[in-house]
Structure 1
Amino acid sequence: MAPKRIKHTFRLPPDLSAQLADFAGRKRIAQAVVVETALASFLSPDGSDRLEAALSRRLDRLSRQADRLAYHVEVSNEALALFIRFWLTNNAPLPDTVLAAAQAMGRERYESFIEALNRRMEFGPRLTNELSFDVPGKTESDAGSAP
């Protein structure tokens, strides 16, 4: 035997009433069931706790993503700075007689670099992945020893 139901009469704005009718029609359920479910969800004491938990999980995920992004930016900046320092300390300025030929060679090398970068971005490993494999981290046994 179904529990006794109490009839309620209330008025809705036309646009909200249209949304209710549209949603109930799409789900093929009675409008009363939609209103009943919405009220139960809104009035449930743990509804706000569930919403807060869902928001907390999402914020945690966004925070981890922002941390990873910051790490990748830091690695990129350090790699670029290291390359620039190396290049500036190991390459002497060219005399004017060979400057045009060096610039032409530089353009060719730059185009090759861009092609290699495109290939690597599409198919190749990422620098951060290589760092984790190429640079050994300190293990617990290394923690007590001097570098």
Structure 2
Amino acid sequence: MKPRHHLYLDDELTEQLEALAAKPGSSKSAIVADALRAYLARRGARELDDLLKVRLDRIGKQLSRIERDQQIVLESLALFIRYQLTVTAPLPEADQAAARALGQERFQAFIDQVGRRIAGGRTLAADVLARSSTEETTG
């Protein structure tokens, strides 16, 4: 058995409901139940949309920060490569083997340091950004 509800509607809404219920195969209860079901479904969808909007905004901000960090890294790498190629003088032939060995040691030390910083959750980009934002606020 369905529960009974007593509703009060204004005159205009009552006339519209009666006109719809006058059609064969429809009843006031079915019309009101369908309308209420549709209203509640829209309301739930709107709440879900509001929650998703907050998450999407947060994801958008995170992507913006990632893009900014990536631009900083790429620009830093490009400047370093240009500096290295234009400033560093070539070594004499006699020193090539020693230079290669020293280069391998330095490269391994570099890779180890990158691994430690990433594993520790510290990044040079974050350090540079923190330092630059501190300098901007004090400067």
Correspondence 1:1-147 to 2 at 5 A = 4=3, 44=40, 45-123=42-120, 125-135=122-132, 136-137=135-136
User: CA 1:50–1:81 in structure 2 vs 1: closer, same or farther (change >3 Å)?
Assistant: same
- Whose Rg is larger? 2
User: CA 1:108–1:69 in structure 2 vs 1: closer, same or farther (change >3 Å)?
Assistant: same
- Partner SS state of residue 102, structure 2: helix
Please report the TM-score for the alignment, with normalisation by the length of structure 1.
0.59
Q: Deviations over 1:74-100 (max 9, x none)?
A: 111122122212222321112222112
Please report the TM-score for the alignment, with normalisation by the length of structure 2.
0.62
The Cα of 1:131 is off from its aligned counterpart by 1.8
The Cα of 1:73 is off from its aligned counterpart by 0.4
User: Which consecutive aligned stretches of 4+ in structure 1 deviate over 2 angstroms post-superposition?
Assistant: 40-43, 132-135
Does structure 2 retain, via aligned residues, the 8 Å contact 1:41–1:47? no
Does structure 1 retain, via aligned residues, the 8 Å contact 2:73–2:125? no
User: CA 1:115–1:53 in structure 2 vs 1: closer, same or farther (change >3 Å)?
Assistant: same
Structure-1 separation of matches of 2:127 and 2:58: 24
Does structure 2 retain, via aligned residues, the 8 Å contact 1:120–1:126? yes
Does structure 1 retain, via aligned residues, the 8 Å contact 2:69–2:125? yes
User: CA 1:103–1:41 in structure 2 vs 1: closer, same or farther (change >3 Å)?
Assistant: farther
Deviates further, 47-56 or 123-132: 123-132
Whichever structure has more helix as a proportion of its residues is: 2
Structure-1 separation of matches of 2:118 and 2:63: 21
Structure-1 separation of matches of 2:44 and 2:70: 39
